[in-house]
A and B are shown apart, each in its own frame.
Chain A
């Protein structure tokens, strides 16, 4: 039966809070991949439901992200004016560079 089961979802924690200026910040920690990207998608949808001007992803504790995670970040770009990534690790930054998204997903340092 083992070979029939879904792979264990990656462990990740999503947390939405507000910046001092009232704009939403979605903190993503752990590993983000195809298995839990849809969950993040729902979190993001809730965070931008009130059409904020800007959305910040706090990636300080995100260890790993794959193309499914990229897709979630990109999905947000079509709904808010600006998407910013805060403190991405070198590994995450590398994925963003490889996919040519440095102009679209602004990296805060």
Chain B
């Protein structure tokens, strides 16, 4: 682009237009620029989770699983510990209920021994304990040591034991364990009961007091809902076995317990019970039961959110990269379009500028046009060098105000009018005056500064007229001066009157450079500084005119200057 922007036209060596269109302006280049656009557009709609997001998800879920399992293990251990505590408590409560059964039986046994088995006194003592809603359904007094065992006194219903002689014998044989509460189960019969026996110790002919409490036929017995153990299911077996046939009571619908349960052996008088309990719910509270699931759900959600966030970040980053690629390609497109536009402008400008310059004996002529690099627009600068005869040329250089196609067409109009007046008259002042009259003859909204110079080669004479244009620079043997010439107003200014001209003699090997303001004007700088810069640079050079113009154009027009620039140089050859 840089090369394009500073490309200059040298009419002495007209270049084919195609050469200007090399590089980024070529159609292949703009085609390449469009390709990444299409690619990125396709890629944009194909969503795929990023690798980072998947990693975040896996790590998040892994951590969640570990936390959940840990929490679950802690919960289970805690529940087991609590359950063991509860079964021991219940055990103590059961064991503590034994004396409430033993005490009335023991008292009755002592009474029987003291009264020698008086049935009346026995009945009188036991009546308050027997009956519906009381402790026992049946209490009976059995004298021990007789061959035939039978109760001598009965309170309440007849003891079931009495109908089972072999069973009763076996059970009452246990009464040699005197002084302790003996327990038996009468289980596999129509009305299952639990039997208790007590005989006072230390007497060979004592009495055994025997009582029975009924069991529910289906063994179902709930703990009271307000009891301290209402959060437990239990099963109570006679003996150490947990066989169904030994079951005394349970609160559960089905046995054995599945899931978490704990068993303990209960000492009940001389007998042994087995207590099995299972929690109905969570002993530690529902929150701790739910905690592993809360951790699992929250953890999974957090992992998903983290993955989504990661994916979004990754997507944004990817998007930004795509955008950068798109911007690059758009920039490339813009560049190529810009270059193309420049190329059109330059082509037009070239068409409006002379193709060839005259060749005279004793005089070298060169010209250069530098378009404004930043605008991409056609400028209003122009020049002409017209051979009048073998020894003289008329040089015209001008600058139409404004830019763009309007300025270029105005420039073409003024330029060709000037050419017409040059054909009529060779006096610079006359040419400018006629030009001013012509432009003012119709309505217009432009101005043009024009410098007209008659160059007489053999006479070494320069005749100048200026319509508001910069004076030309005269160079001779390392010295440079701007040629004083009477400055009239620019062409197009109302009332612009007759222009005047002046002539100077020039040294034998003099060089004259005429230029437009783009060469010397810089923003924020006094014009004289620019003129001095030009003069100092030019006067240091010892170059052929063509190289001199190239040097001046190269050094004094830069990337950021905003005006187009035309230079025309003539050099006398001795």
Chain A interface (Cβ < 8 Å from any Cβ of B): 1, 3-7, 10, 31, 33-35, 63-64, 66-68, 70-71, 74-75, 77-78, 90-91, 94-95, 97-101, 103-104
Q: Is B291 an interface residue (CB 8 A)?
A: no
Q: Are the CB atoms of B467 and A67 closer together than 8 Å? A: no
Q: Classify chain B's interface size.
A: 35 or more
Closest Cβ of chain B to A13, distance in Å, is 15
Q: Which of B334, B523, B528 contacts A4 (CB 8 A)?
A: B334
A10 to B508, CA, bound (A): 44
Q: Across the interface, which residues of B come within 8 angstroms of A95, CB to CB?
A: 527
Tell me which of B338, B402, B494, B523 contacts A64 (CB under 8 A): B523
Contacts of A31 in B (CB 8 A): 523-524
Residues 273-309 of B at the A interface (beta carbon under 8 Å): none
The docked-state distance in angstroms from the alpha carbon of A33 to that of B375 is: 14
Contact stretch, chosen from B9-17, B252-260, B485-493, B533-541: B485-493
Are A71 and B331 in contact, CB atoms less than 8 angstroms apart?
no
Find B399's partner among A67, A97, A100 (CB 8 Å cutoff): A67
Which residues on the A side are within 8 Å of B488 (C-beta)? 100
CB–CB B401/A67 < 8 A: yes
**A-contact 0/1 string along B313-343, CB 8 Å cutoff:** 0000000000000000001001100100000
B window 389-420: CB within 8 A of A: 399, 401-403
B residues less than 8 Å from A35 (CB atoms): 562
Asked if B447 CB lies within 8 Å of chain A CBs, one says yes
- Closest chain B residue to A66 by CB distance? B521
Chain B residues with CB under 8 Å of A90's CB are 526
A4 vs B2: C-alpha distance in the bound complex, in angstroms?
11
Q: List 14 A-B contacts (CB under 8 A).
A: A4-B335, A34-B403, A64-B524, A64-B526, A66-B521, A67-B401, A70-B447, A70-B468, A71-B401, A74-B492, A74-B493, A77-B494, A98-B471, A104-B495
* Bound form: Cα–Cα A70–B470 in Å: 14
Complex contact B1–A77 (CB within 8 A): no
* B563 and A34 contacting across the interface, CB-CB below 8 Å: yes
B374 and A98 contact, CB distance less than 8 A: no
Interface centre among B399, B467, B517 (most CB of A within 10 A): B517
Q: Contact at A94–B1, with CB atoms within 8 Å?
A: no
Alpha-carbon gap, A97 to B531, bound state (A): 14
Chain A residues near B562 (CB, 8 Å)? 7, 33-35
- Residues on B lying within 8 angstroms of A by beta carbon are 1-2, 5, 331, 334-335, 338, 374-375, 399, 401-403, 445-447, 449, 466-471, 486-490, 492-496, 517, 521, 523-528, 559-560, 562-563
Bound CA–CA A68/B516 (angstroms) = 13
B515 to chain A minimum Cβ distance, whole angstroms, is: 13
Q: Does the CB pair B528–A94 fall under 8 Å?
A: yes
> CA of A5 to CA of B331 in the docked complex: distance in angstroms?
11
* Docked pose: A6 CA to B490 CA in angstroms: 28
Residues of A within 8 A of B559 (CB): 3
A63, A77, A100, most chain B CB atoms within 10 A: A100
Assess whether B449 is in contact with A67, with CB atoms less than 8 Å apart: yes
Task: Give the distance in Å from the alpha carbon of A77 to the alpha carbon of B495 in the complex.
Answer: 10
A34 to B528, CA, bound (A): 19
A98 and B493 form a contact (CB under 8 A): no
Residues in B neighbouring A70, C-beta threshold 8 A:
401, 447, 468, 490
Are A97 and B401 interface neighbours, CB within 8 A?
no
Chain B residue nearest in CB terms to A95 = B527
Contacts of B403 in A (CB 8 A): 34
Q: What are the nearest 6 A-B pairs in CB distance?
A: A100-B487, A99-B468, A91-B526, A71-B401, A100-B468, A100-B488
Q: Report whether A101 and B526 are in contact in the complex, using a CB–CB cutoff of 8 Å.
A: no
Task: Return chain A residues, CB-CB under 8 Å to B447.
Answer: 70-71, 74
Docked Cα-Cα span, A6 to B524, in Å, equals 17
Q: Which residue of B lies closest to A103 (CB)?
A: B489
Given contacts A3-B559, A66-B521, A78-B494, 4 further A-B contacts (CB under 8 A): A10-B524, A34-B562, A90-B526, A101-B468
Question: Does A101 lie within 8 Å of B525, measured CB to CB?
Answer: no
Q: Determine the residue in chain A with the shortest Cβ distance to B444.
A: A78
CB of A100 within 8 A of CB of B494, answer no
Name the residue of chain A whose CB is nearest to the CB of B488: A100
How far is B2's CA from A34's CA once the two chains are assembled, in angstroms?
Answer: 22
Contact A98 B523 (CB under 8 A): no
Interface-central residue, A4, A10, A99, A104, by most chain B CB under 10 Å: A99
Asked whether A7 lies within 8 Å of B560 as measured between CB atoms, the reply is: yes
Inter-chain CA distance A63–B529, complex, in Å, is 14
8 Å CB contact of A99 from B2, B375, B446, B489: B489
Name the CB-closest residue of B to A30: B524
B498 to chain A, nearest CB (A): 12
Nearest-neighbour CB distance to chain A for B451, whole angstroms, equals 11
A10 to B446, CA, bound (A): 22
Nearest B-chain residue to A35, judged by Cβ? B562
B487 neighbours in A (Cβ, 8 Å): 97-100
| Chain A residues with CB under 8 A of B470 | 98
CA distance A71 to B401 in the complex (A): 7
Check A7/B527 contact, CB under 8 A, given A74-B493, A100-B487, A100-B489: no
Complex Cα distance A5/B447, Å? 28
- Judging by beta carbons under 8 Å apart, are B401 and A68 in contact? yes
Give, as a whole number of angstroms, the nearest-CB distance from A61 to chain B. 14
Whether B334 contacts A104 by the Cβ 8 Å rule is no
